[in-house]
Structure 1
Amino acid sequence: MGQSVSVDNDGIRGDVELVEVPKEELIGFFHMKCKSLLRKVELKAIATKTNITNLNEKTVITPSDLAYLLQLCRKDDEVTSINQKFGDVVQIIYDALKITGSTPFLRDFENQQGNSLTIDDLIVNSVVYNGKLKKVVADYDILKVLFVSLSYKSLVEYSKFHAKKDNVDNLVTIKALKVESDQLQKRLIWKSLAQFKDFDGIDINDLYIDGYDLHQLLTLFLLLSSIPPSSKLRMESVLYKLLKENWGNFEESALSLLKYMDININSHNMKSTKIKYDQFFTNEHQIVIKLLKDGFTALFETGFLSSNFDDTTVSESQPKESAFSGSKLMNNATISSFSTALKAVGSETQITTENLIKLYIGKEAGFSIRSLESKIFKWQAPTLFIVSGKRLKSKTVSSNKRYLQFDNEYPRYFRSVENPLKDWQLENDRITYGVLVGQPWRTSNKKNFGDTQTTIFSLSPHFDFYKSSTSPILKGESIYFNTLGLGLGFGNEQPINKNGVRKYLPGDVSLTIESNLEFAVFRHLSNGSNSYFKKSQQHQLSSENFEDRFMITDLEVWGVGSTKELELQKKQWEWENKQAELRQSVNLKTMGEDRAFLEMVGLVGNHGGSGGSV
């Protein structure tokens, strides 16, 4: 008979025992474990960037130090000198990283050295956000930790009212393997530690994220996501320019995205807004959660753990700066919003400053259907159609003859005695919609064209998206380009124009632009059945019936790069990866300088006692 191997409740095979370890000693073990999860080249990059000789030192990191280490600014820059609000967001990140850096004892975030960040904290954050901690604690819920870390202000309040009760001897119970070893840290079973499961005893439902803090984080992460991969080697110079010149644009985009979480948030009530856990973690908010998670991951992958800060090792043949020339509607903030939305709908289309081609700008080419046709019909790849304007005021609605003609041809939904504006719709709103069009444009006076890739996006005053219906009958043929006086439509039936009768036939979710490119209507009816597009995913709007009627001030169409251009971009990315590898190359087989470095970190060599090698 063979011997059976016991398996305990945590799925751990072999004989285990409960051990009690002094808390400070256990924290030291955990920090060493986190260092062992990083690649040697990453540890060397950290040591070089921080200019310290021993990564086990409790080196204090200031907010300005942090901004430099994450590659958000140059070494000698004070963050507030770049932008006052940039200084705010760096402090928000600083506070969040203190909490995550206290893993697994999250409630100890204020008990650190001088209540400051250390190199150890940043290394812990690195393994949390690059997913490597999952190798040790497979079921650790990183997204919940993200929420806790962003709840800094409420966690401070929580800690005051819920004093932590440690045992008298400050011992922590953890499982360990029963094996022949005089080094306890080798035998520890980290996933058995209760603090990983209960988040150090924190009741997550008592916490909240401050609305202003979330807005500033979204602003920064939208800004960072707008930088194309081939510009990462010039990260500091590209980012510096965006922070100085474009912060306001990204703030507007971030506020629109914040409204996707709560339509009633605005610039006036943002600081008093508290976002609770059950509001934050809903299916429709995954787009915001993903932007935050990816943002923190990028701060460590392309910042703290990267050696790209050292410009002396960059090849002189690096790619040239993008020649992208934006416009009023298409700028870095718009690109980032579109990219975020495309990820949300699962589109494979990628949009960067490097693959957008200017096809039509209304203020340059003239607002006419013929001019629009001449500029966009030859493009054989996907396009982005963007229209923007001011909400129609009551005076225009009642007296403008051109609008009255359009209004007569566009069927009413709301009765004349009803106020067509909801509480969240303001008279002075600037309204911007975009449409991703996958097929080449063509005249379609009798039959719609398009496919299921077509998506309508709301960019302002609130973020939203409307995916194409997957109906096998409609086949995504939701677009018409009418050259007989009835303009453009997305989500409409073919308009009627015969026997002196002109009539628009808008769908329940549709965007209609009249032929003079002067007025537009977005309609959203949640209770109808005539729809080429799915209704809003925003929980407060999905059951609302509303319209955005606006006077067009800007209309643009941009081509999304061809296969050839995308191949060139791919080559630039490959070049960047090779440059990064050259930077991070280290000969780990030698017994010289590199071994000395590893001994400095504490990953090889005999350090004695319980703090030995991993």
Structure 2
Amino acid sequence: MGQAQSDTGGKQVTTEQVSHELALLFAKKCFTPLELYSFQDVFKSLAERQDSMAYLKEDTLARFLEIPDILGVSSVIFQMVSYLGAFPFGQDAPVILGFEQMVMVVVIMTERYQRVLKKGHRDRAKLLFRSLAVWDRKEPSGKSEKAGKGPALELNTVQGEAHRSHVAGFAVDEPTNDDEEDDDDHDLALAALESLDAVEVFNHGGPPIAQASIPSDNLKKLIMLLLFIAPLDPQESLSRHVGRLTGEHLGGLRKTAENILAAFVNVEKSPGVKIRQFNTVISISFPYLFNGFNSLFEHFLFSKDLDFTKRKDKLTAPPSEVDRLLDQPLLSQEGEILDLNVLCQLSFFIPGEKLFRRLRLLYSGTDAGFSLGGFETKVFNWRAPTILLVAGNRISDPPEGGQERAFSDTLPAKRFPDSSKSEHFAFGIYLAQPWRQTHKECFGDAETLLFQLEPVHEVFHASTINTDYVSFTKPPYAHAGIAFGCPHPKPKQTSGLAPHINLGAVSLVLDSSFEFGVFTHNYTSGGGAFHNSSTRKYDFQDRFEIESLEVWGCGGDAEAEHQRQLWAWEEREAEARRKINLGSGDIEADRALLEMAGLIGGDRSGGSMN
């Protein structure tokens, strides 16, 4: 380390000098004076000392960040930070985590580097891939093993528990030349050196990134941690959420992590995740996957010894707005589909500020009835974004029961295979516009998201050309129900058999009784209102019997109050209609009202008024 030299402006500099200058720049530009003072205090209180060197150990780091032992992820996190501490010279990793190295780590993990480098999320994601990856020593690279210096070379792929996925292989699993990923893989490092006018010092070093992969077991452990820390606020202790790591909650966390892992890799065919898979899946389905690191590593910027909120009269002081907010549950109530783990899963592609402590259950099929009318009554008055979730079990092929056959008869003949061997599915829609009944055209906008949560997590973004996003139709429309990504249905014909449901290329359809649904991915057609999968590049269709259906409103007290007022107004109107002076005993008044309505009089008797 520190041996590479360059003649920059006539002056010989080493990588150690450049790293030192970059650490000073980051500390000055990315931290406030109070944050930097707190960071120094925290590091000093945690550091081990050997001679004149102060550094952090793995167990110290894990204990300070309160990383739960049950997740078994401490060594993965330590590998990451040991690589990031070497930034921008990854070939020098792993490094001892001294003060300057931890400045690099905290700045990168909290994305504060953007205050200096103005780089985006994609650059950090690529850097995090390198920090998590191991290199395959068996692949020929034209270099010795020593050339691949880095923490990954000293780590073995953890075999751990066996993970079973029944999804078909991804196109990104196929052999490919990933060397092109090296072309811009060092953008963030180069930007850092440009800020110091020291680009000449940069040396790629190490083997090509095409030879690197993240072990599936390591990635699963990291995903479990990211699910756990997703709702974390700055300064908030992880100990507030330990209840999520016990009993059924822990089992649900593992299951959710497996569904997310399946988006990256088919573990039956590949032991690890390659760079192209990682970049593709992160950018489309998990843009906020690593956001939890921001709050977690901001713990270094708040020293408990410098907590200015500590006062002698603290016990009598009113609680702060932040404290009141944190005391509210992350989810007001759990649904049959949506629990805390799925909520955190949603936060990987929907901003957390729209979700945590902001969701209200508007409709549940189990409680309000599986019907379009019950759905309309509960959902249509909500004037803020909503999330619809549906889960169910696969229908046998060919269908066995009469109702299953009747539903299948409304669909075109099944041309596509099942997506997987899984028997259970969960899908959803994020809709920014209010719900309404449609008559001629669909509603929704380019922010609408169609997504799958189980058994494979994937997000299908809306097209800006095809706008057949959402339709909500009742009889006399043929095949009434709710459809996403399908052309709007036509009114039922007066004669002849109604045509089959016109399924969109990427679509989800729920029948009018909310008994059955079908998800279609016609990759061959090139997409429709929602874009094709970027990883599952093949045709498939899943038909299922609906087990649970629920709609959640995204919003705060203002949205809830607006909906309450609308419900109250509708109730008053209904009550007023019920109180029309009919059958009250005043026969002449009742007769006059009926005559004005044209219901009696002339040749009409109108029946008995008694």
**What TM-score do the two structures reach when normalised by structure 2?**
0.69
What SS class does the counterpart of residue 440 from structure 1 fall into? coil
Residue matched to 1:536: 532
1:186-227 C-alpha deviation (Å, 9 max, x unpaired): xx99542655x3345553333222122122222322332234
Residue matched to 1:322: 328
Q: Does 1:409 align with 2:386?
A: no
1:227-280 C-alpha deviation (Å, 9 max, x unpaired): 4x5xx4543333323344644434333333333333xx24x66xx622233443
Contact 2:442 2:468 in 1 (8 A): no
Aligned equivalents of 1:306, 1:162: Cα separation in 2: 39
What SS class does the counterpart of residue 494 from structure 1 fall into? coil
Contact 1:146 1:293 in 2 (8 A): no
Single out whichever of 131-140 and 102-111 deviates more from structure 2: 131-140
Indicate which of 37, 55, 62 corresponds to 2:57. 62
1:473-512 C-alpha deviation (Å, 9 max, x unpaired): x655631232557322222231553336344222222211
Aligned equivalents of 1:110, 1:156: Cα separation in 2: 21
Residue matched to 1:497: 492
Residue matched to 1:210: 215
Aligned equivalents of 2:509, 2:376: Cα separation in 1: 17
What amino acid sits opposite 1:239 in the alignment? H
What amino acid sits opposite 2:297 in the alignment? F
Aligned equivalents of 1:550, 1:308: Cα separation in 2: 53
Correspondence list, 1:160-199, <5 A: 161-163=145-147, 190-192=196-198, 197-199=202-204
Aligned equivalents of 1:218, 1:237: Cα separation in 2: 19
1:422-477 C-alpha deviation (Å, 9 max, x unpaired): 5xx11x43211111233333333665444443321111111222233323xx6556
Q: Does 1:90 align with 2:74?
A: yes
Q: CA deviation at 1:406?
A: 1.1
Indicate which of 299, 319, 333 corresponds to 2:341. 333
What SS class does the counterpart of residue 439 from structure 1 fall into? coil
Single out whichever of 26-35 and 239-248 deviates more from structure 2: 26-35
Contact 1:464 1:538 in 2 (8 A): no
Residue matched to 2:543: 549
1:70-104 C-alpha deviation (Å, 9 max, x unpaired): 3x35xxxxx42xx2xx2x21220111111221334
What amino acid sits opposite 1:256 in the alignment? N
Indicate which of 213, 226, 230 corresponds to 1:225. 230
Indicate which of 227, 239, 242 corresponds to 1:240. 242
Residue matched to 2:513: 516
What SS class does the counterpart of residue 505 from structure 1 fall into? coil
CA gap 1:565/1:514 in 2 versus in 1, 3 angstroms: closer
What SS class does the counterpart of residue 531 from structure 2 fall into? coil
Aligned equivalents of 1:328, 1:150: Cα separation in 2: 35
Aligned equivalents of 1:138, 1:368: Cα separation in 2: 50
CA gap 1:358/1:120 in 2 versus in 1, 3 angstroms: same
CA gap 1:35/1:558 in 2 versus in 1, 3 angstroms: closer
What amino acid sits opposite 1:236 in the alignment? L
Indicate which of 110, 121, 126 corresponds to 2:106. 126
Aligned equivalents of 2:119, 2:469: Cα separation in 1: 44
Residue matched to 1:275: 273
What amino acid sits opposite 2:54 in the alignment? T
Contact 2:288 2:349 in 1 (8 A): no
What amino acid sits opposite 1:549 in the alignment? R
Contact 1:50 1:69 in 2 (8 A): no
Q: Does 1:481 align with 2:473?
A: yes
What SS class does the counterpart of residue 399 from structure 1 fall into? coil
Residue matched to 2:38: 45
Correspondence list, 1:328-477, <5 A: 328-342=336-350, 351-394=354-397, 397-414=398-415, 420-422=417-419, 425-426=420-421, 428-444=422-438, 447-471=441-465, 475-476=467-468
Contact 2:394 2:545 in 1 (8 A): yes
What amino acid sits opposite 2:103 in the alignment? I
What amino acid sits opposite 1:408 in the alignment? D
Contact 1:359 1:557 in 2 (8 A): yes
Contact 2:380 2:435 in 1 (8 A): yes
Aligned equivalents of 2:136, 2:527: Cα separation in 1: 46
Contact 1:486 1:495 in 2 (8 A): no
What SS class does the counterpart of residue 242 from structure 2 fall into? helix
Aligned equivalents of 2:41, 2:440: Cα separation in 1: 66
Residue matched to 1:100: 84
Aligned equivalents of 2:502, 2:21: Cα separation in 1: 68
Q: CA deviation at 1:312?
A: 4.2
**Bigger CA radius of gyration:** 2
Aligned equivalents of 1:514, 1:60: Cα separation in 2: 61
What amino acid sits opposite 1:192 in the alignment? A
Q: CA deviation at 1:35?
A: 4.6
What SS class does the counterpart of residue 441 from structure 1 fall into? coil
Contact 1:491 1:510 in 2 (8 A): yes
Residue matched to 2:572: none
The gaps in structure 2 that reach 5 residues or longer are 1-5, 150-193, 562-610
Residue matched to 2:604: none
Contact 1:357 1:558 in 2 (8 A): yes
Higher relative contact order (CA 8 A, sep 6+): 1
**What TM-score do the two structures reach when normalised by structure 1?**
0.68
Contact 1:194 1:200 in 2 (8 A): no
Q: Does 1:253 align with 2:233?
A: no
Residues paired across the two proteins, number: 488
CA gap 1:241/1:312 in 2 versus in 1, 3 angstroms: farther
Aligned equivalents of 2:95, 2:471: Cα separation in 1: 60
1:2-24 C-alpha deviation (Å, 9 max, x unpaired): xxxxxxxx9x9xx9213265x77
CA gap 1:445/1:404 in 2 versus in 1, 3 angstroms: farther
What SS class does the counterpart of residue 541 from structure 2 fall into? strand
CA gap 1:561/1:34 in 2 versus in 1, 3 angstroms: closer
Indicate which of 294, 306, 309 corresponds to 2:302. 306
Aligned equivalents of 2:138, 2:24: Cα separation in 1: 28
Q: CA deviation at 1:393?
A: 2.7
1:18-74 C-alpha deviation (Å, 9 max, x unpaired): 3265x777766665665555433223223443553999963343334213433x35x
What amino acid sits opposite 1:333 in the alignment? N
Contact 1:260 1:538 in 2 (8 A): no
Contact 1:47 1:53 in 2 (8 A): no
Contact 1:468 1:476 in 2 (8 A): no
Aligned equivalents of 1:316, 1:40: Cα separation in 2: 27
What amino acid sits opposite 1:512 in the alignment? V
Contact 2:125 2:279 in 1 (8 A): no
Q: CA deviation at 1:153?
A: 6.7
Identity of aligned residues (%): 24
